[in-house]
């Protein structure tokens, strides 16, 4: 049986990380990272984990702890060759096992990204707002929030 594992990424992993990003960066509903400098900056400001299947990198997942302990569930990418196998759900559960007791967590995703929206809603996140042109690429985004005070 194949095994999915999560590995804290270091700067040595930037190229492996970019190789997966390359496979999805063309998607209109995904605003990804395309160069080493941007990736290094991302690694410096986020907790980045590579996802491996039987030891081979097939995705990445990340989060960022912001002011006041707010958690931004930042990145989640699965290699298209390995999508539809429940790996993204495992990646969400992995991050929730690390930071799921935060008082507020949020995700930013495209309104057409129904896989992502459906999964986070299933963990109690709610759609909080719609932002036009969120990343400056002309595409809107939804903000999904899990807030313990609500
Ligand atoms: C979004 C993404 C991470 C999902 O990865 P994945 O490993 O294929 O996801 P999973 O196999 O865990 O499936 C996720 C859920 O979506 C559901 N799903 C599949 N196709 C769907 C569709 N067309 N509409 C709605 N839900 C769908 C699955 O049934 C599953 O739900 P379940 O766990 O309740 O059965 C992957 O498609 C990806 O990397 N996309 C490009 C990058 C991206 O958009 N990242 C998210 C940025 S916020």
The strand pairing partners of 131, in sequence order, are 141
Is the CB of residue 76 below 6 angstroms from any atom belonging to ligand 1? yes
> What is the C-alpha separation between 146 and 97, in angstroms, rounded?
15
pLDDT of residue 2: 79
Superfamily of domain 4-147: Gcn5-related N-acetyltransferase (GNAT) (3.40.630.30)
What's residue 50's pLDDT? 98
pLDDT at residue 27, as a whole number: 92
Angle at 43 between CA 41 and CA 45, to 5 degrees: 70
pLDDT per residue as tens, the chain (150 positions): 679 999 999 999 999 999 999 999 999 999 999 999 999 999 999 999 999 999 999 999 999 999 999 999 999 999 999 999 999 999 999 999 999 999 999 999 999 999 999 999 999 999 999 999 999 999 999 999 999 987
The residue written with tokens 């209109």 in the block is 28
HSE, side-chain direction, 13 A CA sphere, residue 28:
6
pLDDT of residue 149: 85
Q: Residue with the nearest Cα to atom 15 of ligand 1?
A: 115
Q: Report the DSSP beta bridge partners of residue 48.
A: 62
Please calculate the CA angle 67-50-45 and round it to the nearest 5 degrees. Answer: 25
Cα 116 to ligand 1 centre (Å): 6
Please report the atom of ligand 1 found closest to the CA of residue 89. 12
């Amino acid at each position: 049986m194949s095994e999915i594992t999560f590995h804290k990424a270091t700067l040595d992993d930037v190229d492996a990380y970019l190789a997966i990003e390359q496979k999805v960066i063309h998607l209109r509903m995904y605003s990804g990272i395309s160069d080493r400098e941007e990736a290094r900056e991302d690694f410096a400001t986020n907790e980045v984990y590579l996802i491996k299947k039987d030891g081979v990198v097939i995705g990445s997942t990340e989060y960022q702890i912001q002011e006041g302990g707010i958690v931004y569930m930042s990145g989640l990418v699965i290699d298209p060759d390995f999508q539809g196998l429940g790996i993204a759900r495992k990646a969400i559960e992995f991050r929730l096992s690390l930071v799921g007791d935060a008082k507020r967590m949020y995700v930013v995703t495209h309104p057409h990204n129904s896989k992502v929206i459906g999964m986070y809603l299933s963990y109690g996140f709610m759609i909080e707002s719609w932002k036009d042109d969120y990343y400056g690429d002309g595409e809107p985004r939804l903000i999904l929030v899990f807030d313990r005070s609500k």
